[in-house]
């Protein structure tokens, strides 16, 4: 297998790994009004606010992979051949996301050749998430302010999944999502990534 066949710029012209074709995001802030007349009631009921942030987007694209050992490149991945007329995804209610890659859609390419599948030609799992925050401000002095805040991430507990590993000749587990999206993005602590299960955070902030 030659380097030109395994990694070809002509065959790799495609969408980037982080290409998102459709994306929506919105934010809403609402200061809760109060008609409290006493000082105690104002202290308890006043200065509350709600924030809502929503995100909905299409998924990151990916492609199927085949693990090979090349005398030129060493350990590497190449793409398989596509079978004409076969869908890339098939419904599968027993796995995360309700679908898995179709094993009948892929064939091993001839030795020494990159497969006919294009780079990043498979649409991945999208993301839908709403975060809700409830906050209250306390005026300690004219300049000293204290804010108590409760943040609920993914308040609807909507499931979001990462893309399959897509090693299509390594068994069924490689053709389906095996983790939630926040675990698959990598880099930061998954608690601070989008796409995880519903979680709560309590915080205090002192401003001066």
- What local confidence, expressed as pLDDT, does residue 5 receive? 47
Task: Choose among 86, 91, 95: nearest CA to 178.
Answer: 95
Residue by residue, pLDDT tens for the chain (208 residues) are 444 444 556 678 888 999 999 999 999 999 998 887 777 777 777 889 999 999 999 999 999 999 888 776 678 888 999 999 999 999 999 999 999 999 999 999 888 788 999 999 999 999 999 999 999 998 888 889 999 999 999 999 999 999 999 999 998 999 999 999 988 766 556 666 789 999 999 999 998 8
Query: What's this model's pTM, rounded to 2 decimal places?
Result: 0.81
Task: Choose among 46, 166, 168: nearest CA to 106.
Answer: 168
Query: How far, in whole angstroms, is CA 101 from its chain's centroid?
Result: 18
- Alpha-carbon distance of 126 to 160, in angstroms, equals 7
Question: What's the CA angle centered on 20, arms 104 and 103, to 5 degrees?
Answer: 5
Whose tokens are 């409760």? That residue is 150
- Alpha-carbon distance of 187 to 166, in angstroms, equals 21
How crowded is the C-beta side of 97, counted as CA atoms within 13 Å? 24
3-state secondary structure of 39: helix
- What local confidence, expressed as pLDDT, does residue 4 receive? 45
- What local confidence, expressed as pLDDT, does residue 193 receive? 77
3-state secondary structure of 182: helix
- Alpha-carbon distance of 108 to 156, in angstroms, equals 42
- Alpha-carbon distance of 52 to 27, in angstroms, equals 6
- What local confidence, expressed as pLDDT, does residue 141 receive? 85
- Under a CB-based contact definition with an 8 Å cutoff, are residues 193 and 185 in contact? yes
Question: Over 84-143, what HEC string results?
Answer: CCCCCEEECCCCECCEEECHHHEECCCCCCCCCCCCCCECCCCEEEEEEEEEEEEECCCC
Radius of gyration of the chain (CA): 25
């Amino acid at each position: 297998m030659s380097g030109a066949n395994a990694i070809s710029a002509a065959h790799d012209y495609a969408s980037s790994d982080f290409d998102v074709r459709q994306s929506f995001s919105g934010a809403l802030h609402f200061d809760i009004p109060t008609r409290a007349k006493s000082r105690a009631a104002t202290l308890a009921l006043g200065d509350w606010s709600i924030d809502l942030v929503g995100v909905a987007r299409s998924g990151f694209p990916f492609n199927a992979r085949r693990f090979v050992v090349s005398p030129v490149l060493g350990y590497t991945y190449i793409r398989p051949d596509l079978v004409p007329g076969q869908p890339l995804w098939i419904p599968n209610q027993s796995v995360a996301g309700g679908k898995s890659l179709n094993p009948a859609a892929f064939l091993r390419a001839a030795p020494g050749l990159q497969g006919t599948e294009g780079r990043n030609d498979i649409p991945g799992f999208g993301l839908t998430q709403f975060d809700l925050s409830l906050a209250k401000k306390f005026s300690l002095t004219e300049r000293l302010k204290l804010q108590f805040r409760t943040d609920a991430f993914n308040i609807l507990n909507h499931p979001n999944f990462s893309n399959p590993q897509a090693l299509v000749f390594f068994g069924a587990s490689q053709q389906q999502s095996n983790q939630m999206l926040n675990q698959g993005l990598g880099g930061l602590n998954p608690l601070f990534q989008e796409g995880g299960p519903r979680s709560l955070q309590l915080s205090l902030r002192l401003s001066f």
